[in-house]
């Protein structure tokens, strides 16, 4: 049921070609743009302070990623969030590094107060940090299973009243009422930079075509499972990280709703 909904969301990205306004880090921004194009969305990075508000209003969704958050980006993100809110567009946040840099949890809180966040995507250490739990995470990476992660996802979803996705060996997604577990993916996704950021960007593309809050949950499931499936497909072509990264973008270009139905390893339960 959730898989069918996620599949439909994925098809809709290619039909509607949504414009995704990204305010993201300069490390993986090129990968984010290319993965959005491969998925059928139209990326635009606009983080000049005096352009962000208006640009968010003409976009279908806003993606904010804290990876390298210089002052002008931080101010532009606030302006863009207000623009997205005024136009009724979803805001997707990837609070990169909030486990290692506590200030970033505060930035998410302020964005949420300002404009309301629709979807938060982080790795397990980041979502643990948002839920106020310790996870023993080094730097910005965390991908193993962490005890207490399901509770952390649920609590964070209820705290912000939004969908929350924690990526790891098994990805956990909740909207506060349901919990999905996705077991697609391969370890090589942790040996390149950008897999998390690209997942966040795909979340924004999926959120852009979600019709209501119910579909926002399916949107997160669609985006997260697409990256896992793409990782598996890339792993069949390439076993070294440089080649794998190229194969990953190639793979997303070929993934359709049908691929998701065939390869998605998605479980979902009411809670």
Q: Rg (Cα) of the chain, in Å, rounded?
A: 16
Tell me the two tokens of residue 191: 């040996």
Task: Identify which of residues 18 and 257 has a Cβ nearer to a second copy in the complex.
Answer: 18
Shortest distance in whole angstroms from residue 46 CB to a second copy: 7
Percentages of the chain per state (helix, strand, coil), in multiples of 5: 55, 15, 30
Do 12 and 209 contact (CB within 8 A), yes or no? Answer: yes
Choosing from 4, 44, 267, 271, the residue that interacts with a second copy (CB under 8 A) is 44
Does 186 engage in binding with a second copy (CB under 8 A)?
no
Q: Does 8 bind a second copy (CB under 8 A)?
A: no
Residue from 8, 11, 68, 148 in contact with a second copy (CB under 8 A): 68
Q: How far is the CB of 59 from a second copy (least distance, A)?
A: 7
Q: Classify residue 60 as exposed, middle or buried by CB count within 10 Å of its CB (0-12, 13-18, 19+).
A: buried
| CA atoms of 160 and 8, how far apart (whole Å) | 26
Question: In sequence order, what DSSP letters do the residues of 96-165 get, joined into one string?
Answer: TTTTT-THHHHHHHHHHHHH--SEEEEEHHHHHHHTT------TT---S--TTHHHHHHHHHHHHTSEEE
For the bound state, the minimum distance from the C-beta of residue 89 to a second copy, rounded and expressed in Å, comes to 13
The yes or no reply on residue 82 touching a second copy (CB under 8 A) is: no
Site for a second copy in 19-38 (CB under 8 A): 19, 25-31, 33-34, 37-38
Neighbouring C-beta atoms of residue 161, cutoff 10 Å = 13
Contacts of 107 by beta carbon, 8 Å cutoff, 6+ apart: 66, 69, 74, 95
Binding region for a second copy (CB under 8 A) out of 99-107, 108-116, 212-220, 261-269? 99-107
Nearest approach, Cβ of residue 269 and a second copy (Å) = 34
Task: Please report whether residue 58 would count as binding a second copy according to CB under 8 A.
Answer: yes
Residue that has been written with the tokens 């506590």 in this structure? 102
What's the rounded Cα separation, in Å, for the pair 151 and 84? Answer: 30
Selected from 11, 14, 45, 159, the binder of a second copy by CB under 8 A is: 45
List binders of a second copy among 204-263 (CB under 8 A): 240-243, 245-250, 253-254
Identify the residue among 106, 132, 139, 187 touching a second copy (CB under 8 A): 139
12 binds a second copy (CB under 8 A): no
The number of beta carbons lying within 10 Å of the beta carbon of residue 267 is 12
Q: Which residues bind a second copy (CB under 8 A)?
A: 17, 19, 25-31, 33-34, 37-38, 42-51, 54-55, 58-59, 67-72, 74, 97, 100-101, 103, 138-141, 191-194, 240-243, 245-250, 253-254
């Amino acid at each position: 049921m959730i898989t069918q909904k996620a599949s439909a969301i994925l098809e809709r990205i290619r039909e509607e070609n949504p414009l995704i306004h990204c305010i993201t880090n300069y490390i993986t921004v090129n990968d984010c743009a290319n993965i959005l194009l491969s998925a059928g969305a139209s990326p635009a990075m606009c983080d000049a302070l005096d352009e962000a508000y208006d640009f968010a209003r003409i976009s279908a969704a806003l993606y904010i990623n804290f990876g390298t958050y210089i002052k002008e980006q931080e101010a532009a993100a606030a302006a863009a969030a207000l623009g997205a809110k005024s136009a009724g567009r979803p805001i997707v946040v990837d609070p990169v590094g909030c486990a290692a840099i506590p200030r970033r949890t505060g930035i998410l809180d302020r964005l949420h107060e300002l404009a309301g966040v629709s979807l938060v995507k982080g790795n397990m250490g980041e979502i643990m940090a948002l839920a106020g739990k310790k996870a023993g995470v080094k730097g910005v990476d965390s991908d193993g299973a962490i005890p207490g992660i399901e509770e952390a996802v649920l609590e964070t979803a209820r705290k912000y009243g939004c969908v929350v996705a924690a990526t790891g060996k098994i990805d956990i997604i909740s909207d506060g009422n349901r919990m999905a577990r996705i077991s697609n993916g391969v370890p090589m996704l942790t040996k390149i930079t950008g897999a998390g950021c690209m997942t966040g960007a795909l979340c924004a593309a999926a959120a852009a075509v979600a019709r209501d809050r119910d579909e926002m949950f399916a949107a997160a499931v669609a985006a997260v499972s697409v990256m896992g499936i793409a990782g598996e497909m890339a792993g069949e072509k390439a076993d070294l990280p440089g080649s794998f990264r190229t194969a990953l973008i190639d793979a997303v270009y070929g993934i359709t709703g049908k691929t998701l139905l065939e390869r998605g390893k998605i479980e979902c339960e009411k809670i």
